[in-house]
Chains A and B, each alone.
Chain A
Amino acid sequence: MTQSHRVAGGQIDRSQSLRFTFDGLPYQGHPGDTLASALLANGVRLMGRSFKYHRPRGPLSAGSEEPNALVELRTGGRQEPNTRATVAELYDGLEANSQNRWPGLRFDALAINDRLSTFFAAGFYYKTFMWPKSFWEKLYEPIIRRAAGLGSVSREEDPDAYDKGFLHCDLLVIGAGPAGLMAALTAGRAGKRVILADEDFRMGGRLNAETHAVGGVAGADWANVAVAELGAMPNVRLMARTTVVGAFDHGIYSAVERVSDHLPMPLSGKPRQVLWRIYSTRAILCGGATERPIAFENNDRPGIMLAGALRAYANRWGVKAGDRAAIFTNNDDGLRTAIDLQAKGVDVMAVIDSREGGELLPGIRHLRGAEVIDSTGRLGLTSITVRQANGRNETIAVDALGVSGGWNPNVNIHSHHRSRPVWDASIAAFVPGADGPPGLLVAGAAAGVMATHAALRTGRDAAIAALGLAGATPDLPEAEDAPVRIMPLWHVAHGRGRAWIDQQNDVTVKDIKLAAQENFTSVEHMKRYTTLGMATDQGKTGNVIGLAIMAELTGRSIPETGTTIYRPPYTPVAMGTLAGRSRGKEFKPCRLTPSHHWAAEQGATFVEVGNWLRTQWVPKAGETEWRQSVDREVLATRRSVGICDVTTLGKIDIQGTDAGAFLDRVYANTFSTLAVGKCRYGLMLREDGIVFDDGTTARMGPHEYVMTTTTANAVTVFRHLEFCRQCLWPDMDVQLISTTEAWAQFSVAGPNARKLLEKVVDQDISDAAFPYMGAGNITVGGLRARLFRISFSGELAYEIAVPTRYGDALLREMLARGAEFEPIVYGTEALGVMRIEKGHVAGGELNGQSTALNMGLGKMVSKKKDSIGMVLSQREGLNDPSGYRLVGVRPVDPTAKLVAGSHFLEKGAAPVLANDGGWLTSKVFSPHVGCDIALGYLKGGDAKIGNRMRAVNLLSGLDTEVEIVSPHFVDPEGERLRG
């Protein structure tokens, strides 16, 4: 198809042609085109269907405010719904499809909704789909969602990468129109670090769309020269295709840079988009203004556009939206469009000017005091009905209508801190208020300064003010400085049909009237009731009209009626952009243990524990099922010796002359009396008396302790200790630092643990020389190391630590030198089995709801000293003698299964909450006991040892008779670990 609607001029490269498709049909455009301009150039006005009524729609605008021309770009994993054709940069091979229609765009069966519009007024589904209540979720909502909606996603994985980044500057200039360019030039010439960001791929803003001269040359040419000068400054960063989407605290702005959206696919390694966080204590919003339409009956047909957009398509893209055009305006800016279109060879049939009196445009039929009251054309505009000042109606055949109801300054970014814009009657629009984000100034049309020269001046002055620049003030180029002359007109009173305010959400004047009638008169209520201003365009073209009409209906002024709250993002941001590279396997960084490479060589199975990858079990040849491996590891450890990488446990170095006293305060039990060279199990409480964490802490010197924490709580405990040190007791002489990663630490457990270690350590570690709960610095072949005689498994056990770089070698050395003991490496599953067999609490019991008393550790909470949580642990409710106590559980029938989470019930008791006796916290199969075993919290459990109860799990359908036993299934006297 030829580009039938191209006219002369424009900032497109006609020497190159780009091929693209829309709904499968091939078209051509040029570099510099948007999808919308290229489609219009090819005579395509119909680009979408409306949200609710499935009305045919074409582009209303030529920018990011577009409510109608939403399309799906690309296919497969790169398919992107709800993309505005008006800002989608054309590239060769672009595939675009219309959305929210079936079976096609020209014939959409769901357009029946338009015929049924009487039933679909604002709030219809709140009133209609109320009975029966249960139908809402499963029937009504799915049907509504299918009938009313926007685009779709392919559900394929997005193959592209999205980056995040951080930028710093002295001045951020948001928008590269005349005000922004002048601000950037002023600051850049002064040597300041400047970032100039603009959402468009071509900088210059409205200068690209106008015919006015700036500095004696075309505005677009002046912009090109300014951009070139800025580009040559090393202190200025030009960021085209970059939308500043939000203003946040402390001079932080968020921006999305579309790095690759204008390419068929990102270049190798390059991201599709970058989400920038920009730090700038000074910023200038030069975001321009958005034109608003005037509501009249059937004002939403393809071909009816904002007058400034018609002008932009003609001047910037060399496109006429129609052959026969008319303009409907209430201000002088609309007249510009008529003049420019006529200059481009378009037949301007009439200018319908709602203002009465005044000068007439020469050479153009200029109807003063007239209004457009209706239009015709099923899939595109064919005629308008004009009500003239004398009351006569006239039908004019046109295929393009430009509507100008005035311009709204883009105050959004300035209002992101809840600044309320203020009404400026002189331009009939809201302008930025006085309480915007600190450091953010506003210039140009965004400040309500609509003339080009004034925009240049305010941009320059804002830069000077923002940066406190002294010295010569840069000269300004000559430019037009016309005043704004407007007579507000929000909607045309004539006509009985629907007149659209918010075309994206199909909100009409009638809907606003209905909201007022039903007393949803607050703008926030009106928004929720009618959906005005929601979805991708956030009401950029419709909001002010809606609230102005509400003001009329309620007899209030527009400023009294006010605006809704502006929130980021300014324009839609893809979820992938927000996620960045944090997705899939790269959602979070991975932490590898020192034994990881050895374990991987053995074919170990790994489990994620926080960010750590821990060995879960290490299968041997012939083992086909995980239990075989785990049972073997447990039995081998209890029979001879097993090694487990416990590097992941948090290790915190605590030093200072008050280190012991500090530990007494953070632990429930006492550590200041611990002898040097010994370690002790410690219990840490929260302020509310609930157990926070546990672990062993060793005293390595008079003023030096090493605390271990659980793997899960390593960071939170360290943070807690820092809070205590810095905020609660800043006078204490205590220094903290994490050493978790500095040491590779292995548990060596089993009857032959000492014999194995004796083959690798340089010191005497006999029971006499290194007794149970001993700790100290040792050497391994002369290498500095640490040894702790502690046991989680209940066996004779040690934890040996060497500098991390030697961890892999130490493991291999222990396995090789201790080969005669047939040592095995066990993973977290065997670790869990052995700790439950021994009755040690861990994650299932340290559940953030349990006390030391619940765990059978009540005596550890010393009342001889104050410590965090001690007082509140004495609360009556936490010390009920019949409260939960830790017990062991085994099925009466050894072949029966237990399930963690099952609840204790007395025999014959119904499985209801009133009969609940507690629950199983952790369960494993114990190869030592020969059946499933579990730990659990049982009400009054310590008095029920030996009782038989039921463990009931309604989800699993299990009802198992169990015996309540001691939680210590293995070596309850602790003889093995002291051996």
Chain B
Amino acid sequence: MAELQAMTALGAHDPARVVCGPLTITERIDVALASVATRRGKDLTKAAKAAGVPLAEPGCHLRGMPYCTFWTAPEMWFVEAPFDSHERIAEILKSDLGDAASITEQTDAWVILDLAADDLSPLLERLCNVDFAGQPVGHATRTMIDHLGCYLIKQGPGAARVYGPRSSAQSLLHALEAAAASVW
């Protein structure tokens, strides 16, 4: 059996990089993702600490190595890790966290688009109801972009990561491009 060739969410073999004026959109395919939810009555905090998984506070993204996390719901997080080393991230986390958490593979459920510009506020205010300028670096929230349920992580005034539903990657990219053309 030959090794299957991966296709990106945007339908290519290589991740996309799109430049719209001062905005650069970079598709990321090198991030493994899993959801981690606390099992009732279990001490996930302790297990996560032992496993080196930093559990972010509500509304936050927390960096670590190799794991980063962001809060998605009460007692629930998304855990990021390098794809190359953690392609089987769910299995690895299950091994590390045991029965303290319910863990679900999420890597390919999402398209990841990293946004970069001097200031992303003018762009994001055309796309979602997040007060990007008013939030600190590390802010993470669920929001709607072009009718799509997305996660938005603020990495800096001019840097953000958008998680969008993978099947709608092209629509999401189009919405970003259209908003960028509107703004810049």
Question: Measuring CB to CB, which residues of chain A are less than 8 angstroms from any residue of chain B?
Answer: 161, 163-168, 193, 268-271, 274, 277, 279, 581-582, 586, 588-594, 596-597, 611-612, 647, 653, 655-658, 703-704, 731-733, 735, 737-744, 759-760, 762, 780-784, 802-810, 813
Contact = CB atoms under 8 A, between A and B. Distances in A.
B1 A760 contact: yes
Contacts of B105: 739, 742, 803
B109 A781 contact: no
A197 to B, nearest CB: 14
Contacts of B19: none
Interface string B65-109: 000000000001000000000001001000000000011111111
B4 A810 contact: yes
A733 B38 CA distance: 9
The 6 closest A-B pairs by CB, nearest first: A269-B181, A589-B171, A655-B102, A733-B40, A781-B1, A168-B131
A271 B76 contact: no
Contact of A805 (B7, B37, B134, B148): B7
Contacts of A597: 7, 11
Contacts of B37: 655, 735, 737
B162 to A, nearest CB: 13
B7 A739 contact: no
Contacts of A813: 1-2, 4
Contact of A738 (B5, B109, B133, B174): B109
A781 B126 contact: no
A742 B182 contact: no
A590 B169 CA distance: 9
B110 interface: yes
B179 interface: yes
Given A165-B125, A647-B167, A741-B165, 4 more contacts: A269-B182, A597-B11, A741-B108, A781-B1
B126 A279 contact: no
B178 A807 contact: no
B6 A741 contact: no
Nearest to A651: B109
A630 to B, nearest CB: 25
27 contacts: A164-B126, A165-B125, A165-B127, A268-B181, A269-B182, A277-B129, A582-B147, A589-B147, A591-B165, A596-B11, A647-B167, A703-B102, A704-B102, A732-B40, A735-B37, A735-B76, A739-B104, A739-B109, A743-B108, A762-B1, A782-B1, A782-B3, A803-B105, A804-B166, A805-B6, A805-B8, A806-B4
Contact of A270 (B35, B165, B182): B182
A376 B34 CA distance: 80
Contacts of A588: 147
Interface of B: 1-9, 11, 29, 35, 37-41, 76, 88, 91, 102-110, 125-131, 133-134, 146-148, 165-172, 174-175, 178-179, 181-182
Contacts of A593: 167
Given A657-B39, A743-B108, A809-B7, A592 B170 contact: yes
A856 B89 CA distance: 43
Nearest to A806: B4
A609 to B, nearest CB: 12
Nearest to A784: B88
Given A589-B146, A742-B107, A733 B170 contact: no
Contact of B167 (A592, A703, A733, A762): A592
Contacts of B181: 268-270
Contacts of A804: 9, 108-109, 166
A890 B121 CA distance: 62
B165 A655 contact: no
Nearest to A655: B102
Nearest to A733: B40
A781 B40 contact: no
A115 to B, nearest CB: 52
B4 to A, nearest CB: 4
| Most A C-beta atoms less than 10 A away, residue of B104, B134, B147 | B104
A805 B6 CA distance: 5
A253 to B, nearest CB: 13
A166 B167 contact: no
Contact of A165 (B126, B171, B175): B126
A271 B8 CA distance: 31
